[in-house]
Structure 1
Amino acid sequence: MRYHMLKAGTEPGTYVMESPIVTEHDILTMAKQLSQKRLSKGRALESPQAVKEHLRTLLHDYEHEVFAVLLLDTKHKIIGFHELFRGTIDSASVYPREVVKTALEHNAAAMIITHNHPSGNPEPSQADIHLTTRLKEALALVDVRVLDHIIVGTDGCYSLVENGNM
């Protein structure tokens, strides 16, 4: 794998290629790095659509379920993105205690919870909706708001808020 394929261009948001040959793998790696940068500490959330696109880039290609949180401060600026649990091809055990502990460790005021569906279909299961309710209740006890639960599939994302499931 090559490193330093890109360097910053003269205009903000532009990059210059150091290598004349770029593989598909290189492009996907760069997209993940850019999404991680866009979800890094101190950045403001651009829009719900942008958040979904970044989460999709980070989580869509796992062959197993991954549950993660996007921690936010009181002004909804990003504190950090953390993958908390990994599971199998169709489930992941999520422990509310550990989610609350992570929120408190980072002094989060709010969070967006997310996980992927390796099957590709982002539609939530009843277990997903139930988990969201449990997490909202547990986090509310320590004054942390759950702003959304975004499920990532191969072809897109499903927002529980946007679809009236939260």
Structure 2
Amino acid sequence: MPREKLLKYGAATLSDAELLAIFLRTGTKEMPVLILANHLISYFGSLHAIIKASPKQFINIKGLGPAKYVQIQAVNELATRSLKTEVSEKPSFTDPDLVRRYLLNHFEQTAFERFACLFLNSKNRLITFEYLFTGSISQAQVYPRTVAQQCLKFNAASVIFAHNHPSGDVSPSESDKQLTQRLIETLRLIDVKVLDHFVIGSDKCFSMAEHQML
């Protein structure tokens, strides 16, 4: 059972369905809780989609109700607040794992591309997270001059870029790579360092810095 497995081997060893089953607690007469959890993941597509589902979407599934919806939303909020605390206490925002988790918690999933920036101070701690540009389902027009102006506005010493691919494919396109280089060259003129550029899918992130693309 998922609970016993967690106690014996740790939470990281559990599958998505096993973790979800712990929060659901019970299934139905026709569907034990672990099968219900697998059904939910298959129906919605991912854990992230389940968490982001509206009350109506969630409760319409047989075997679910307001109490289960509230419990999952409360757990999600606990995780979000925990991450905020971790970010505020972190001496540096250069750990790709931390940035990845921050973006997956904060970047709003939309049917169109959005380009955002994490502005950092001289100690690489987060000043603010801002959406700068919004585009179509396949592209957001990004203007390096505007990015530079925002860096000066927030007195940023370094930045991390992030944009989403509504398709879910997190592989950077050639235009993504070219844009990143243009931004690096532009911000170099005002002594602002580009630390990374993340491409975000539905439940995963790709770090260009980790793949030596900067």
TM-score by length of 2: 0.61
Q: Residue type matched to 1:76 in 2?
A: N
2:185 pairs with one of 129, 132, 137: 137
Distance 1:145 1:165 in 2: 15
Corresponding residue number in structure 2 for 1:151:
199
8 A contact 1:96–1:138 mirrored in 2: yes
Aligned-residue offset at 1:26: 6.2
1:12-161 matches, cutoff 5 A: 22=70, 44-45=92-93, 47-59=95-107, 61-161=109-209
Query: Aligned residue pairs: how many?
Result: 148
- Structure 1 residues 78-117: Cα deviation after superposition (integer angstroms, max 9, x where no partner): 1111110111111100010110000000110100011111
Aligned-residue offset at 1:44: 4.0
Aligned-residue offset at 1:73: 0.8
Instruction: List alignment gaps of at least 5 residues for structure 2.
Output: 1-66
**Identity in percent:** 38
Q: Residue type matched to 1:120 in 2?
A: G
In structure 2, do the counterparts of structure 1 residues 160 and 46 end up closer, same or farther at CA, with 3 Å as the change threshold?
A: closer
Distance 1:90 1:34 in 2: 33
Q: Residue type matched to 2:171 in 1?
A: E
Distance 1:85 1:29 in 2: 27
Aligned CA-pair RMSD: 2.7
Distance 2:94 2:184 in 1: 23
8 A contact 1:85–1:94 mirrored in 2: yes
Structure number with greater CO (CA < 8 Å, separation at least 6) is 1
Distance 1:112 1:27 in 2: 28
Structure with the higher strand share, 1 or 2: 1
8 A contact 2:96–2:207 mirrored in 1: no
TM-score by length of 1: 0.77
Aligned-residue offset at 1:155: 3.4
In structure 2, do the counterparts of structure 1 residues 79 and 62 end up closer, same or farther at CA, with 3 Å as the change threshold?
A: same
In structure 2, do the counterparts of structure 1 residues 74 and 130 end up closer, same or farther at CA, with 3 Å as the change threshold?
A: same
In structure 2, do the counterparts of structure 1 residues 102 and 48 end up closer, same or farther at CA, with 3 Å as the change threshold?
A: same
Moved over 3 A (4+): 23-40
Q: Residue type matched to 1:144 in 2?
A: V
